[in-house]
Amino acid sequence: MDIRFADCGVRFGERVALQPLNLRLEGRRVGIIGLNGSGKTTFARLMIGLTSPSTGSVSVNGVEIKSPSDGRAAGTGFVFQTPQSQLIMPVVREDILFGLKARGIVSREADACCAATLARLGAENLAGRRVHELSGGEVQLAAMASVLALEPRLVVFDEPTSQLDLKNRRIVVSAIEALDEDAIIVTHDLELAESLPRVLLFHEGRLEADGSARDAIDRYRRLAA
C-alpha cells in the first residue's frame, strides 16, 4: 500500500474528529486501535472516500481521495463494522454478483469469480444462503466475499471481529491473514492487533503512537487505565 495523509484533518461542525496529521502508510498490514470515539473509523473512512478531509488531503496508491468513486478508482474496498448493512441482496451469491454486474462483469465470468472468491474464504457453502439467516461470522465472510470479488488492492476492515464468538473469530482472522490484498484493520481485538507489524494508536482525535504492536498496545493500556 502507499497511503499518504498531508495535513489531513476532519471536523464535524465544532467537533474535531481527527486532528490534522501527516503520515505515510506502506507495507501489507496496518492495525488501528484506540478508545471509543478516538477517531479510528473517521481515519479509516478517509481512505475510501466515505468521509472527506476538512483540511489537507489523503491519497491512496497515487489517487487523491475525495469521494467514494475516488476510493474505488484507487482500488480500495471496505468491510463495515456492521457488515449486514452492506449486503444488499437477499442471497449471498446474488449480492456478490450484484457488485460484479455494477462493474460490467456478467454471466459465466461473474459466476466463476463468485465461486472462486467464496472458495478462497472456505465459504462455498454460503453461496445459496439467505443473508438474514446467517450467523455473525458468516455475515462477515459474506461481506468480505462481496468486497474481495471486486479485486480491491487494499481492504479496510472496521472492527471485523467485534461481534464474533471464538470459532467465528478464528475463521475471520484466518481469512484476513490469508488475504493477498493489503489490509488496514481497525480493531478493539488486541490479540489481532498484536499479530500486525505496524499499529497506530489514536486518542481524542490525535495520532498518539505509530510503531510496533507491543508499544501501541502498552500505551493504549495506560490510556485506558
Q: Cell numbers 478517509 label which residue?
A: 46
The grid coordinates of residue 133 equal 439467516
- Give the span between the Cα atoms of 80 and 143, in whole angstroms: 8
Q: Which is nearer to ligand ATP, 17 or 145 (CB)?
A: 17
145 and 131 in contact (C-beta within 8 Å)? no
Q: Which is nearer to ligand ATP, 80 or 145 (CB)?
A: 80
CA distances from 105 to 29, 63, 75, 101, 150 (A): 29, 24, 16, 5, 10
Residues 190-207 as b or e (16 or more Cβ within 10 Å = b):
eebbeebebbbbbbebeb
Establish if 222 lies at the interface with ligand ATP (CB under 6 A).
no
Establish if 91 lies at the interface with ligand ATP (CB under 6 A).
no
Establish if 128 lies at the interface with ligand ATP (CB under 6 A).
no
Instruction: Give the rounded distance of the alpha carbon of 143 from its chain centre.
Output: 11
The stretch among 23-31, 40-48, 87-95, 169-177 that binds ligand ATP (CB under 6 A) is: 40-48
Grouping H, G, I as helix, E, B as strand and the rest as coil, residue 108 is helix
The stretch among 12-20, 82-90, 113-121, 126-134 that binds ligand ATP (CB under 6 A) is: 12-20
The stretch among 36-44, 60-68, 193-201, 209-217 that binds ligand ATP (CB under 6 A) is: 36-44
Establish if 42 lies at the interface with ligand ATP (CB under 6 A).
yes
Report the site for ligand ATP in 158-187 (rule: CB under 6 A): none
CA nearest neighbour of 16 among 66, 60, 53: 53
Q: Which is nearer to ligand ATP, 162 or 195 (CB)?
A: 162
The grid coordinates of residue 41 equal 473509523
Q: How far is the CB of 43 from ligand ATP (least distance, A)?
A: 7
Establish if 14 lies at the interface with ligand ATP (CB under 6 A).
no
Considering only 39, 49, 53, 75, the residue that binds ligand ATP (CB under 6 A) is: 39
Torsion over CA of 68, 69, 74 and 77, rounded to 10 degrees? 50
**Which residues lie near ligand ATP (CB under 6 A)?**
12, 15, 17, 34, 36-42
